[in-house]
């Protein structure tokens, strides 16, 4: 029988993780081991095993961590009231995000209001335009009290401000409906129990990325178009950060955002560093300047979300994982960790995260190739040794996903 992990221990872990996050800004180059100053690029050697890594993870309805400290890891897990799932966000953002004091974890859930066979078309199943198919609901798990409460229906995609305010999207209507875009507003509560305040004035295709200090960085999608990266300086105060761009990461101090522009077939890909305060560009870097020594050519695409630790950012690319060195006024490629994505994954890597304060260990996950039921696995990699250990495959719905918040800075 599964035993609940004592809340105090998990809370301590979350606190430690929070402390790690808070210390990120102070993690200058000097804290990285000497070898990290000149890390090699090359192919990652991947072996299957039972890796352990620092961090907090969610798999289905199980919240667990830290790994590596106890042989009885499953006994340390806490059960969530519902499986973490966010089909409106997918791998583009965290499915669960902790508060900075480590006390609470906000996680996205989903309830289907009718069965859908996604191999078939809607009409074949009697699904008409506008039929409600499912409802997202953000839930709040208290790791100490082990309580679990739901926000209002239609909510997903949380990000925590340093003072405990929480931002999320609230659908209007709450249900995801066939043949209709899922429109919603950005909502902020100054605390989980405070009244929600609309920060957008008209429902749109909004997605939360994270807080940049007291400002909120969001994406706004458009049918048949590229998303815009916008900044909300407060309720109803939206402005453009980068038009027609993708969002990769926010700096730990919340002052800058790393965005991407262009894609194969749509012009050259450029990584751009934007100052959140005024949307000005601090630096740019062409992806074609990256040299993958294995592929013998530059990667064709870069995607998010990345992980930003000190002055390093790790992001997925078309040939594996790229580590960038980013200062307040410069971007440079430091290391290409080559992965044969077609052989090791179904085609891309999800949510790479620095998980220790040295920046040595990177954890990511992926869906695995092969027919039949979809399977996923976690990869724990030592980027200095160019080695990874892959967990045993699990059914995709129980993919181990990191619990993190993309926000930076303090209010």
Partner 1 sequence: MSSLRSILAAVAATGAVVAASAAPAGATVTTFDFHRITNTNSVLTIYRQELLDGRILNQASYRAGSGLNQNECDSAQYDQVGGWLPSGYYNLWGHYDHYAGTLIQGRVWRLQDKRCNGGTGQIRNDLFIHSEETSTNQQACGSSYIERFCWDGDNDYYSVGCIKVSAISDLGRLHANWDSWSGLHGSFNLSQRVYVY
Q: Report if residue 300 touches partner 1, rule: CB under 8 A.
A: yes
Q: What is the DSSP string of 1-55?
A: ---PPPHHHHHHHHHHHHHHHHHGGG--GGGS-GGGGSPPPEEPEEEES----SS
Task: Find the shortest distance in angstroms from Cβ 94 to partner 1.
Answer: 12
Q: Report if residue 52 touches partner 1, rule: CB under 8 A.
A: no
> What is the distance between the alpha carbons of residues 93 and 265, in angstroms, rounded to a whole number?
25
Task: Find the shortest distance in angstroms from Cβ 3 to partner 1.
Answer: 27
Pairing of strands 312-317, 307-309: antiparallel
> What is the distance between the alpha carbons of residues 261 and 302, in angstroms, rounded to a whole number?
10
Q: Which of 14, 407, 17 is nearest to 213 (CA)?
A: 407
Task: Find the shortest distance in angstroms from Cβ 411 to partner 1.
Answer: 24
Q: Report if residue 301 touches partner 1, rule: CB under 8 A.
A: yes
Using CB under 8 A, pick the residue from 341, 355, 363, 380 that binds partner 1: 341
Number of helices followed by number of strands (H, E) in the chain: 3, 32
Q: Phi first, then psi: give them for residue 21, nearest 5 degrees.
A: -65, -40
Q: Report if residue 175 touches partner 1, rule: CB under 8 A.
A: no
Residue 79's CB: how many other CB atoms inside 10 A?
15
Closer Cβ to partner 1, 18 or 86, answer by number: 86
Task: Find the shortest distance in angstroms from Cβ 354 to partner 1.
Answer: 19
Binding to partner 1 in span 206-225, by CB under 8 A: 207, 209, 219, 221-225
Closer Cβ to partner 1, 292 or 303, answer by number: 303
Using CB under 8 A, pick the residue from 179, 293, 385, 392 that binds partner 1: 179
Q: Phi first, then psi: give them for residue 250, nearest 5 degrees.
A: -115, 145
Task: Find the shortest distance in angstroms from Cβ 388 to partner 1.
Answer: 18
Q: Report if residue 343 touches partner 1, rule: CB under 8 A.
A: no
Is residue 144 helix, strand or coil?
Answer: coil
Q: Report if residue 227 touches partner 1, rule: CB under 8 A.
A: yes
Token digits of residue 38 = 């000149």
* Distance from the Cα of residue 81 to its chain's centroid: 21
Q: Which of 197, 238, 194, 198 is nearest to 216 (CA)?
A: 238
Q: Which of 314, 357, 350, 318 is nearest to 333 (CA)?
A: 314
Q: Report if residue 302 touches partner 1, rule: CB under 8 A.
A: yes
Q: Which residue has the tokens 């590229």?
A: 226
Token digits of residue 54 = 């620092």
Using CB under 8 A, pick the residue from 21, 66, 91, 352 that binds partner 1: 91
Q: Report if residue 230 touches partner 1, rule: CB under 8 A.
A: no
Binding to partner 1 in span 236-275, by CB under 8 A: 244-248, 260-267
Binding to partner 1 in span 348-367, by CB under 8 A: 348, 350, 365-367
Q: Report if residue 337 touches partner 1, rule: CB under 8 A.
A: no
Q: Report if residue 392 touches partner 1, rule: CB under 8 A.
A: no
Q: Report if residue 298 touches partner 1, rule: CB under 8 A.
A: no
Inter-residue contact 187 to 198 (CB < 8 Å): yes
Task: Find the shortest distance in angstroms from Cβ 278 to partner 1.
Answer: 23
User: What string marks each residue from 2 to 41 as x (binds partner 1 by CB under 8 A) or -?
Assistant: ----------------------------------------
Stretch that binds partner 1, among 23-31, 99-107, 120-128, 277-285 (CB under 8 A): 120-128
């Amino acid at each position: 029988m599964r035993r609940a992990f004592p809340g105090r221990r998990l809370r301590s872990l979350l606190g430690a993780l929070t402390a790690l996050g808070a210390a990120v800004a102070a993690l200058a180059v000097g804290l990285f081991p000497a070898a990290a100053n000149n890390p090699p690029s090359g192919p990652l050697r991947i072996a299957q095993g039972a890796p352990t890594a620092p961090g907090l993870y969610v798999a289905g309805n199980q919240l667990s961590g830290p790994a590596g400290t106890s042989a009885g890891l499953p006994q340390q897990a806490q059960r969530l009231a519902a499986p973490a799932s966010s089909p409106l966000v997918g791998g583009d953002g965290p499915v669960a995000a902790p508060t900075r004091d480590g006390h609470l974890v906000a996680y996205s859930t989903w309830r289907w209001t009718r069965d859908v066979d996604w191999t078939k078309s809607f009409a074949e199943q009697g699904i008409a335009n506008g039929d409600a198919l499912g409802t997202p609901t953000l839930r709040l798990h208290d790791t100490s009290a082990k309580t679990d409460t739901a926000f209002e229906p239609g909510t997903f995609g949380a990000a925590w401000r340093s003072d405990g305010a929480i931002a999320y999207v609230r659908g209007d209507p709450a249900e995801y409906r066939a043949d209709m875009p899922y429109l919603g507003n950005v909502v902020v509560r100054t605390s989980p129990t405070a009244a929600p305040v609309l920060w957008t004035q008209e429902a749109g295709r909004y997605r939360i990325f994270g807080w940049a200090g007291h400002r909120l960085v969001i994406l706004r999608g458009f049918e048949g178009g590229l998303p815009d990266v916008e900044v909300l300086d407060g309720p109803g105060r939206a402005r453009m950060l980068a038009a027609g761009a993708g969002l990769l990461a926010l700096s730990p101090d919340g002052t800058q955002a790393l965005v991407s522009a262009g894609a194969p077939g749509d012009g050259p890909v450029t990584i751009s560093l934007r100052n959140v305060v005024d949307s000005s560009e601090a630096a740019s870097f062409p992806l074609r300047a990256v040299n993958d020594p294995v592929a013998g050519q530059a990667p064709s695409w870069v995607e998010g979300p990345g992980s930003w630790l000190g002055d390093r950012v790790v992001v997925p690319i078309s040939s594996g994982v790229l580590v960038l060195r980013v200062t307040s006024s410069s971007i440079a490629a430091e290391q290409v960790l080559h992965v044969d994505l077609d052989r090791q994954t179904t085609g891309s890597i999800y949510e790479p995260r620095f998980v220790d304060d040295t920046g040595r260990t990177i954890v990511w996950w992926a869906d695995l190739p092969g027919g039949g039921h979809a399977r996923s696995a976690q990869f724990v990699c030592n980027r200095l040794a160019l080695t990874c250990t892959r967990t045993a495959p699990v059914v995709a719905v129980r993919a181990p996903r990191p619990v993190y918040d993309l926000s930076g800075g303090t209010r």
